[in-house]
Structure formats: C-alpha cells, structure tokens
Structure 1
Amino acid sequence: MGTRLKVLRVFKTLHRTGREVFKDDERALTAARLKINEEFRKNKEEPSEENIQKMIKMGSDVETVLRQAVLQVEHVGERQLLLRPRESLLLENVPYCDEPRKKS
C-alpha cells in the first residue's frame, strides 16, 4: 500500500475515533479535530520516507490510546462527576484471587 494511502487511513481513523471518544462533547470534538488537522497540515511537505513512517506509527499509537484509555467524564455537581464509558471499554468483572487456579 502506498504511503499516501497509509497517511489518509490514519487521518480518517483518528477523526472517526475522536468522534466516538468525544461524542456529545462539542468542545472536545472541536479541539480534537483541530489538533489532528493541525498536525497533519504541519507535516504535509515532509520529504523523508523514514519520518513519514514514524509519524504514521505515532498516529496509529495515538488512535489506540484514545480508543482504549480515554473515558468521558462530565461534571454534574460541584463535587460529582458522571462517568460515561463506551461499550468497548466495559470488561467482564473477574474477582481477584491470591492463589493461582489449579490446572486439571
């Protein structure tokens, strides 16, 4: 796949992930969109293939962090927060056990 297509794929994926992660938060959506566009525009004329590959990798890593580690939290009172986790972040709750399970 060509470098240009890889860059466009990362660009689109970052925007899609940003829309999902910051859903219903116009301020965060706008900030994410502007930052993504700014970074891609800033490096638009990069001549080095090696640097482009590094930036593609960084963009993919950022997308992964956004998708896996960022939670939406909303202030609902002076000392209260409302956590709005995405369905993809919810995991099965497994109780902690000090002793390892015995293999059968």
Structure 2
Amino acid sequence: MGSRMKVLRVFKDLHKTRKDVFKDDNRAMTAARLKINEEFKRNKNETSDENIKEMLKMARSVETILRENVIQAEHVEENKLLLRPRKSLLLENVPYCDTPGKT
C-alpha cells in the first residue's frame, strides 16, 4: 500500500474514532475534527518516507489512545460526574486472587 493510501486510511480511522469517542459531545467532536485536520494539513507537503512513517506511527498511537483510554464524563452536579463508557471499554469483572492457580 502506498504512503498516500496509508495516510488516508489513518486520517479516516482517526475521524471514525473521534465520532465514536466523542459521540453526543458536539464541542469535543468539533475540537477533535479541527485538530486532526490541522495536523494533516500542516504536514501535507512532507516527502520524506522516514518522516511520513513516524507521523503515521504517531497518528496510530493517538487513535489507539483515544479508542482505548478516553471515556466521556458529564457534570451533573457540582461535585458529581456521570460516566458514559463505551461497550468496548467495559471488561469482565474478575475478582482479585492473592494466590493464583489455587481454586
């Protein structure tokens, strides 16, 4: 796959993740869209394959962090937040065991 296709794939994946992560939060969706577009526009004339690879690696890391670590929270009272985790972030609750291997 050529560099151009890889860049477009990462660009689309970032926007897809942005829409999923910031769903129902128009302000965050707009800010993320502007930042993604700004970064790609700023580097659109890059020709060095090494630099392009590094930027693609960074973009993939950002996409992974957004997808795996960001959770939506909404202020509902002065000292209270309502968390809205995506299903992909919810894990099976396994009790902690001090002595692994013993049942």
Q: Distance in 1 between matches of 2:4 and 2:38?
A: 17
SS in 2 for 1:67: helix
Equivalent residue runs for 1:2-81 within 5 Å: 2-81=2-81
Instruction: Give the 4+ runs in structure 1 shifted more than 4 A.
Output: none
Residue type of the partner of 1:60?
R
Which runs of no fewer than 5 residues in structure 2 stay unpaired?
none
The total of aligned residue pairs comes to 103
Give the aligned residue type for 2:28. A
Take 1:70 and 1:11, find their aligned partners in 2: how far apart are those partners?
19
Partner of 2:84: 84
- 2 CA distance for matches of 1:50 and 1:30? 30
**Percent of pairs with identical residues:** 69
| CA drift at 1:68 | 0.3
Equivalent-residue separation in structure 1 for 2:2 and 2:24 (angstroms): 35
Normalising by structure 1, we get a TM-score of: 0.96
SS of the aligned residue for 1:81 comes to strand
Structure 1 position 47, deviation (Å)? 1.6
Cα deviation, residue 26, structure 1: 0.5
CA–CA separation in structure 1 for the residues paired with 2:92 and 2:36: 33
> Structure 1 residue 49: deviation in Å?
0.8
RMSD: 1.1
CA shift, 1:102, in A, is 4.2
